[in-house]
Amino acid sequence: MKILLIYTGGTIGMVHDANTGSYIPFDFENLQAQIPELNQLDCKLEIISYEPSIDSSNMHPKIWVQLGNTIEENYHKYDGFVILHGSDTMAYTSSALSFILENLNKPVILTGSQLPSGVPRTDATENLITAIEIATSQRDGKPEVPEVAVYFEYQLYRGNRTHKVNAENFEAFESVNYPSLAEAGVHIKFNRRYIQNVNDEKLIVHKEFNPNIGVLKLFPGITESTVKSILLAPNTEAIILETFGSGNAPTSKWFLEAIKEASEKGIIILNVSQCQGGSVDLGRYETSKALKDMGVISAFDMTFEAALTKLMFVLKNSKDADRRIELMNTNLQGELSY
């Protein structure tokens, strides 16, 4: 088994320097010497380290595509891939990669850590070792997890179902609307009924995103000027409307007129709930029925991260308005339950 480890940046790639008291980059060339437990894994590990390393706050669609290119270039050389990434935007990258890597049939496991390597109680070592072990796991000669996934603190989640929920706890991620793909204890238990099946199609790597998207998060007391400045901003092709509960929004005349004006200009408006769990159900209440009548579309139970990256992907891959809506309503990579 051959695994390619791709280090992009993040806390997991840092160690504490006792001389300066600061954190410095990990020596990935001597990774197995620094983490001898890796030598017990039944795989050959090779490493690519992005230079300069990328703080996850600086993550960008161009880097998502770069990761896609790296995997494409090495796809037939390795049995699986492990990406080390800062945790803050990991859910965005894992969601984006699920759309970039069409017909993926090998593991692409993202992981990171809350504490740097080498410090007391670090989670870096366990996360790294188990992510690699998952990437090497096979059953009947086929990979256990032939999809993009996030491993963190004993749980493996589908990449486009993952959301960071805590900045301090080791249990940093959750997948509220979809079960975990695996749980690591004494043994790794795979929940096979929830994992994508291996396919025999050729890998297709999509290499462009359209970021001309605005985000309008509703709150009690939001003003007309705020709403219009976001809905009608120049070059905007789509809006993510973060609504209350199951997709509800104000019924004020000025608000609905602003939504209608944006929709009539051809701007796609995607309704995403501010709740982490549950689904948008347009028309369930009167406060969302008007949105549905104006052509606002539902994100169903997608995470914000999946909705955003999917929208960027769809906008770039189709210019036709009806086709864009059709794709947003279609379960492309297991990102929604409908």
How is 181-228 classified by DSSP, letter by letter? SEEESSSEEE-GGGSPPP--SPPEE-------EEEEE--TT--HHHHH
d(CA 307, CA 247): 14
Catalytic residue among 8, 11, 122, 136: 11
Task: Give bridge partners of residue 205 from the DSSP assignment.
Answer: 101
- Phi, psi dihedral angles at 108 (to 5 degrees): -125, 100
- DSSP letter at 42 equals S
Any residues with CB less than 8 A from the CB of 48 and at least 6 apart, and which?
A: 4, 5, 6, 7, 70
Closest listed residue to residue 171, CA positions, set 186, 185, 151, 198: 151
Instruction: State the CB neighbour count (10 A cutoff) for residue 185.
Output: 7
Closest listed residue to residue 217, CA positions, set 251, 249, 241: 241
Ramachandran region of residue 128, left (φ > 0), alpha (ψ -120 to 50) or beta? Answer: alpha
d(CA 185, CA 88): 25
- Phi, psi dihedral angles at 44 (to 5 degrees): -100, 125
Closest listed residue to residue 103, CA positions, set 337, 332, 331: 332
Based on the residue annotation, tell me whether 11 is a catalytic residue of this protein.
yes
Tokens linked to 42:
């039944």
CA angle 316–336–190, rounded 5-degree value: 120
Enzyme catalytic residues: 11
